[in-house]
Amino acid sequence: MTPRPIVAAVTIVATLAVGGAFAQPLRGAEAKRERPVGRIAEAVLEAKAARVSEIEIPPPPYLPTGVDSLDAIAQNYSVFVARPIAIVVSPAADSSTIVTWYKLKVQSTVIRQAAVSRDGLPPGVPPELLPVARDEVLLPYTGGRIVVEGIIIKQQPHHGFHLDLTKDYVLSLFLESSGAVANLAAGPDGVFAVDSDGMLTPMGRSDHPLVQEVHVRQWDKLEFLRSSLRERKQAK
């Protein structure tokens, strides 16, 4: 059975829907939901008791996925070049944490994992991001900022990870739900921003083995990374 990566954390703001399309992130306003329970409800009570309008809750422990090489990525995961087209922040289904949901528009497929589960969508998917087209995928990441009962609740993402609506990225992913949802295969360390010349900038830690491998052996170039992953995929 293909290993399922353990996902950690991230942040960003909600998006504004205009004419059915998602525009730029809202400034100073986050999506308001039904009254939550769990840790988020506790944070609201704590803030009100302290008579403050803003409170920060700690993120859950960061659990590395153990994926630290291009060989591991090529064997079991998918790699896409994609751009975020919408970002929504909401409480997790159990209100234990905050989740930032990215809707990605896939521009090209570098490699794709052999098998993808046909399970339905996981709980907590924001309805604003549905439906998911064939060339789109939803990426959740823990962390963000929401407003509940007038209280701003913040949760920092691990490694400060976030994606920008104006940039393209190479993302190492584990696809689920018939390919409609993905989790990061190697956390932020498997994500790279791509500039107009095809040069890669890591979104994770510069000293991580996977980031180092892309830098030293692939010269931080999308062209070389694409060729290397496809060769490894065919050779497995």
Longest dimension (CA), the chain: 61
Closest Cα to residue 190, out of 65, 4, 61? 65
**The whole model's pTM is what?**
0.84
Domain boundaries, the chain: 15-235
The CA–CA distances, whole Å, from 39 to 88, 176, 178, 211 equal 20, 27, 31, 34
Q: Which of 98, 128, 125 is nearest to 10 (CA)?
A: 98
Output the six-digit token pair for 128: 């604003």
Q: What is the pLDDT along the chain (236 residues), one digit of tens a residue?
A: 444 443 333 333 333 232 333 333 333 334 444 555 699 999 999 999 999 999 999 999 999 999 999 999 999 999 999 999 999 999 999 999 999 999 999 999 999 999 999 999 999 999 999 999 999 999 999 999 999 999 999 999 999 999 999 999 999 999 999 999 999 999 999 999 999 999 999 999 999 999 999 999 999 999 999 999 999 999 87
Q: Could you give the CA distance from residue 210 to residue 214 in angstroms, rounded to a whole number?
A: 6
